[in-house]
């Protein structure tokens, strides 16, 4: 198998800003307030970087296409914990870096039963260029088990809004363009609900430790 494509440039300031903005919109004050109130009801897991929802958030219904050409909706998330990230195959920096970290996360969780290993799903923010075949080849560079999702711009936008992700396509220049997007990771529980948010920068050791803590607390 070929080596994964290396990051080409440092993470852009715009992408980091979008990551922070998306995190605030998706989690921010709501999580912190809920955490405070929840202490009177039950203990939250102690995490290194993850912001954990005391009451996981439901995801609005969606319909996308997986990198193998099959239909993919919320039912495909049931029964297993999943890391969802938004990105695209032409992403120069944060997307390949995050996928490399997630590959390392699964390696750090090698002692976990296979049925309890988190799945990894990349939702394309550039559906005009990211066909299922292209996404499949891209994610396979990192781990054959990783799944890419694409669909109409409206369908991707609806899921992004439901989870709390910002997407902004930059103007085209000389036949090319970039897509800024929230860089946070989202942990989806086995009931297809958003359980936690992982802000940037992503570090495999911290993500793996927090995943263990959240699973131990939530089952």
Strand partners, 187: 83, 196
Q: Give per-residue burial for 24-44: e unless 16+ CB within 10 Å, then b.
A: eebbbeebeebeeebeeeeeb
Residue ranges covered by each domain of the chain: 13-218
- DSSP helix/strand/coil, 28: helix
> Per residue in 37-73, pLDDT tens?
444 345 678 999 999 999 999 999 999 999 999 999 9
Mean pLDDT to the nearest integer, 103-115: 96
pLDDT value at position 175? Answer: 82
Q: Distance between CA 52 and CA 36 in Å, rounded?
A: 12
Q: What is the largest CA-CA distance in the chain?
A: 57
pLDDT value at position 8? Answer: 41
Q: How confident is the model at residue 174 (pLDDT cuts 50, 70, 90)?
A: confident
32 vs 214, which has greater pLDDT? Answer: 214
C-alpha dist (Å) from residue 19 to 77, 140, 151: 24, 25, 22
Give the mean pLDDT of the chain. 86
> Per residue in 134-163, pLDDT tens?
999 999 999 999 999 999 999 999 999 999
Q: Which residues contact 185 (CB under 8 A, 6 or more apart)?
A: 83, 84, 85, 98, 102, 197, 198, 202, 207
Fold of the domain built from segment(s) 13-218: Glutaredoxin (3.40.30)
Instruction: Yes or no: say if 82 and 187 are a contact pair by the CB < 8 Å rule.
Output: yes
pLDDT tops 50 at residue 132? yes
Mean pLDDT to the nearest integer, 19-46: 50
36 vs 214, which has greater pLDDT? Answer: 214
């Amino acid at each position: 198998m070929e080596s994964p494509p290396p990051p080409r440039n440092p993470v852009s300031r715009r992408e980091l800003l979008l990551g922070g903005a998306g995190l605030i919109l998706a989690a921010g004050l709501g999580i912190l307030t809920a955490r405070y109130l929840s202490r009177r009801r039950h203990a939250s897991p102690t995490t290194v970087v993850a912001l954990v929802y005391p009451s996981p958030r439901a995801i609005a219904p969606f319909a996308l296409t997986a990198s193998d050409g099959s239909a993919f909706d919320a039912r495909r998330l049931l029964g297993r914990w999943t890391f969802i990230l938004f990105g695209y195959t032409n992403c120069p920096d944060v997307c390949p870096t995050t996928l490399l970290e997630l590959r390392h996360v699964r390696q750090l969780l090698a002692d976990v039963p296979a049925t309890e290993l988190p799945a990894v799903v990349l939702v394309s923010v550039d559906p005009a260029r990211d066909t299922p075949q292209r996404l499949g080849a891209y994610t396979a560079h990192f781990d054959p088990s990783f799944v890419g999702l694409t669909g109409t711009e409206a369908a991707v936008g609806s899921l992004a809004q439901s989870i709390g992700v910002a997407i902004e396509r930059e103007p085209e220049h000389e036949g090319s363009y970039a897509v800024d997007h929230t860089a946070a990771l989202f942990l989806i529980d086995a009931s297809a609900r958003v359980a936690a948010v992982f802000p940037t920068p992503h570090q495999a050791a911290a993500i793996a430790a927090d995943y263990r803590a959240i699973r131990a607390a939530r089952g």
